[in-house]
Structure formats: C-alpha cells, structure tokens
Structure 1
Amino acid sequence: MPATRIETRRGWIGDRRLDIIEAVQRALLAGLKIPEHDRCIRLAEYDADAMIVPPGKGPSYLVIEITLFSGRSLDAKRRLYAALAEELSAFGVPASDIKTVLVETAPENWGLRGLPASDIDLGFKVDV
C-alpha cells in the first residue's frame, strides 16, 4: 500500500505524465509484489528555479519518494530499484538520474477506512 511521489523538473516529460506514472506502478508491482489495484502515485513537476539537483545530472533527474509499510526485504528493495531503472530507461532517463527514497512506517501509523492499517486485513504480504 505504498504512497509514491515523483518529483522532477518541468519540460522533459511533455504529454507522457500518465506513461511515467504507469511505469513507476509497474516497478512497484515487480519490486514489492503489491496487488495491481494498489495505486497511489503523484507526479509533481517544478520550474527549473524551484528544484536544484546534484552537479552532472541531466534534465530528466527525478526523485521518487515511496512511503510504505516496514518489513520489505533488502531483496525486494533491490528488485524495486532495478525495476525503476529499467522502466524509466524507456523514457531516456539514465539510472544515474534516479534517486529513490523509501520512507518506512509501521502499519499503526497509516490510517485506512477510519482505522489503523494494523487492524485491517490488507490482502497482501508486506514481508516479501
């Protein structure tokens, strides 16, 4: 049940916003083994003067921040990072221009349907 935010500079995506979002969704499916219907991805584009990036990064530099339940294995995280690099390469984004930040939280700190997620059968495994 990750919540994902993609942030990048305006101008290089054009009319491919939904395609980028879907590519990140596919990477989440492959890496974290979440169900197909588990979708929560936002894309924010910033003017060039509203986002500074490390030296040597290209115009497609992006930060992907994924808030997710604690418990994924290092192998799952490796799968996710590799899947993001593979999916985004189709848009000309080099792996060196992708920064992924995982923010892990306990299920009791995530509210769904008016309840903490720890009290709900989520229908999928977190410890993949």
Structure 2
Amino acid sequence: MPLVTMTVRKPKTAEFKDAVLNAVHDALVESGVPQADVFQRVLSLEEEDFRFDARYPDAQSDRNQDFVLIEILWSVGRSVKIKKKLLESLMNRLAAQGLNPENVMVVFKETSWENWSFAGGRLIHT
C-alpha cells in the first residue's frame, strides 16, 4: 500500500537507485508492510529542475548532488513511534550503503483507506 517516490538529480546509476529503494522497502517491511507490497517510482531530474537548500533546516553537512528526496504515501494511522523507527532503520541501511543520511529527506504523506483502488477500479477498503 505505500507508494514510494524517490527524486534525485541526474545522473544516478541503477545501482544507486536500487540501493536506496531496497533500503526503503526493507525499512517499510520492518515496520509491518507486507514484503510483496512494492510500488516505487523514481524521478530523475536535471539540476535546474530539482532545487534544494544545502542545509535547511538542520542538516549537519551540506547536501550535494546525491541528495535524495523520498516521499512515502501510505494510509493514515501510523504513529510517530512507527515513523521514527522506520526512519532510524532507513538511515542505518542507507549509511551501510555509503550514503550520508544528512543527504536524505523523507516526507510522509497520509491518505484515508478509501482512497486506494489497487486494480480494476475496486475500492476494497470501503
């Protein structure tokens, strides 16, 4: 049910994108998302189309060309505790891959259950 969107500046290798997306998915599974629930997309943008501040609001080092914006759209209802646990797991996984966690921004977006139609126009959560 989570829809993960990763936005990066071009160019990024398939290995870079796989490492980040796999880390996100593994952290989501650890937080209770089913293993088979994989819906991910990558937006690779030119520098002029993906702008960001190097330090806003509390980055401890400058963001660089490997900055990653991760948006997780999922159903409403997860606690702050679950989100913090997911973030900790994700940052540890990314750091293990050699990506500086200060270069990663995560945005959680929540929607109600009745806003998902997974296939065929069926609203299975209504």
Partner SS for 2:38: coil
Q: Please state if 1:73 is matched with 2:72.
A: no
Percent identity reads: 25
TM-score (norm 2): 0.83
Give the distance between the partners of 1:28 and 1:79, measured in 2 at CA: 10
Q: CA RMSD in A?
A: 1.5
Structure 1 residue 18, shift from structure 2 partner:
2.4
| 1:38 equivalent in structure 2 | 37
Count of matched residue pairs? 117
Partner SS for 2:125: helix
Structure 2 residue runs without a partner (length 5+): 55-61
Give the distance between the partners of 1:63 and 1:19, measured in 2 at CA: 14
Matches within 5 A, 1:1-128: 1-11=1-11, 13-16=12-15, 17-30=17-30, 32-55=31-54, 56-113=62-119, 114-119=121-126
TM-score (norm 1): 0.82
The one-letter code matched in structure 2 to 1:116 is: L
Structure 1 residue runs without a partner (length 5+): 120-128
The one-letter code matched in structure 1 to 2:106 is: T
Partner SS for 1:43: strand
